Amino acid sequence: MPRPGGMGRAHHDGNSMSETFIQYIKCVGTGAKHNRDLSYEEMQDAMGQMLTQQATPEQIAAFLLGWRLKPESVEEFRAALAVIDTHSRHERVENGLELGYPFDGKVDNPYLFPHAAALLAEHDLRVVVSGGALQPAKRGVTVRDVCRHLSLPANLHYFDRADYCPPLSSLTPIRQKLGIRTGLNTLERLPGAGRCDTALIGVFHKPYVQKYVEIFGPRYRRLVIVKGNEGTPEIFGRCRLWVHEEGRLEEHRIDPARYDVDYAKSFTPIGADNLLKATRNPTESLASLARLNAALWLWAKGVAKNLDEGWERLDG
């Protein structure tokens, strides 16, 4: 398997750049016997070529598919994230908590973040969310949809990827045509647009917890990972939660019933209009669930020592 040499150190014209990218496709797309992880420098160059679209759309799609199937290594994720950072604009949000949502949206249940954020205004906690155009694979309602259709509290800061990282946003048509999740679905969740020192991210599967710690942990003083609803950082039922701080990872269990929160969540799609309507006009039980999530955010930020204290701080 040939190794591309000297990537990222010299200028290439369009033709030679296309040829070098073919070598990266071969690294991830020639089968289990011959696939290999890219080095940090190679992945930086590959990500750079995708963001500048010096690689063709067909090449980008081929690489993203092969990269997903190989699968991705933590070092590759870190390298790609570092390159995305260089193509992104950031604006520090003081005393902010960054929430990491999937860009493929929600389909079964409403969002909680507008209401939970409003509960925290008097605690001087600012909430940061990022969004953009819908990505594969769900056809859900996105954070961008919510932020465009609802009035947001003053302490909720929304960053749109079309503004903070146009090169990554420009890959949307390629990703939509590919139609599946890729490594970019992981990286885009926590872009660091608000330069917060604390973040809360949702996870689908427990094996990704350690991977998230290794990818995102060095970027935050405190990283909280929760097995939330539809892969979001929002709690809708009993779940596990992991707190990473100062090199330690602690696991906790959360049961909303302990706080007399009883919300009957949906397990089937409710439709975009109904989802936005339920988000805009929450029922009493959904409002209680938003309060529980706000208490979690106080704990995540370190304002409260634990979830119980966070809940009490919001008790009237």
- Domain coverage including residue 103: 96-313
Q: Which residue, 63, 86, 109, sits at the end of a domain?
A: 86
**145 and 251 share one domain:** yes
Q: Which residue, 47, 65, 86, sits at the end of a domain?
A: 86
Task: Quote the pLDDT of residue 225.
Answer: 98
Question: What are the CA-CA distances from residue 199 to residues 52, 202, 221 (Å)?
Answer: 28, 10, 9
Task: Quote the pLDDT of residue 207.
Answer: 87
CATH of the domain at 128: 3.40.1030.10
Does 6 reside within a domain? Answer: no
**163 and 244 share one domain:** yes
Give the closest residue to 213 by CA, choosing from 176, 186, 253.
Answer: 186
Confidence (pTM): 0.91
**257 and 304 share one domain:** yes
**140 and 44 share one domain:** no
**44 and 165 share one domain:** no
**158 and 299 share one domain:** yes
Does 41 reside within a domain? Answer: yes
**107 and 81 share one domain:** no
DSSP assignment of the chain: -PPP-STTSS---HHHHHHHHHHHHHHHHS-TTT--PPPHHHHHHHHHHHHTT-S-HHHHHHHHHHHHHS---HHHHHHHHHHHHHT------TTEEEEE--TT-BSSS---HHHHHHHTGGGT-EEEEEE-S--SS---B-HHHHHHHS---TTEEEEEHHHH-HHHHTTHHHHHHH-S--HHHHHTT---TT--SEEEEE-SSTHHHHHHHHHHGGG-SEEEEE--GGGSS---SSEEEEEEETTEEEEEEE-GGGGT------SS---HHHHHHHHHS--HHHHHHHHHHHHHHHHHHTSSSSHHHHHHHT--
Does 268 reside within a domain? Answer: yes
Does 76 reside within a domain? Answer: yes
When divided into structural domains, the chain yields a total of 2
Task: Quote the pLDDT of residue 32.
Answer: 87
Does 193 reside within a domain? Answer: yes
**204 and 306 share one domain:** yes
Does 291 reside within a domain? Answer: yes
**25 and 101 share one domain:** no
CA angle centred on 153, ends 147 and 158, rounded to 5°: 40
**Size of the chain, expressed as the number of residues it contains:** 316
125: which 2 tokens?
């906690």
| Phi, psi values for residue 94, rounded to 5° | -65, 140
**78 and 101 share one domain:** no
CATH of the domain at 30: 1.20.970.10
Q: What is the full per-residue pLDDT of the chain (316 aa) written as tens digits?
A: 444 443 443 334 444 446 889 999 999 999 988 999 999 999 999 999 999 999 999 999 999 999 999 999 999 999 999 999 999 999 999 999 999 999 999 999 999 999 999 999 999 999 999 999 999 998 899 999 999 999 999 999 999 999 999 999 999 999 999 999 999 999 999 999 999 999 999 998 888 999 999 999 999 999 999 999 999 999 999 999 999 999 999 999 999 999 999 999 999 999 999 999 999 999 999 999 999 999 999 999 999 999 999 999 997 5
Question: What are the CA-CA distances from residue 270 to residues 110, 135, 275 (Å)?
Answer: 9, 19, 6
Does 237 reside within a domain? Answer: yes
**221 and 198 share one domain:** yes
Rounded CA-CA distance 243/250 in Å is 5
**183 and 164 share one domain:** yes
Does 117 reside within a domain? Answer: yes
Sheet containing 198-202: order of strands: 156-160, 126-131, 96-100, 198-202, 222-226, 239-245, 248-254
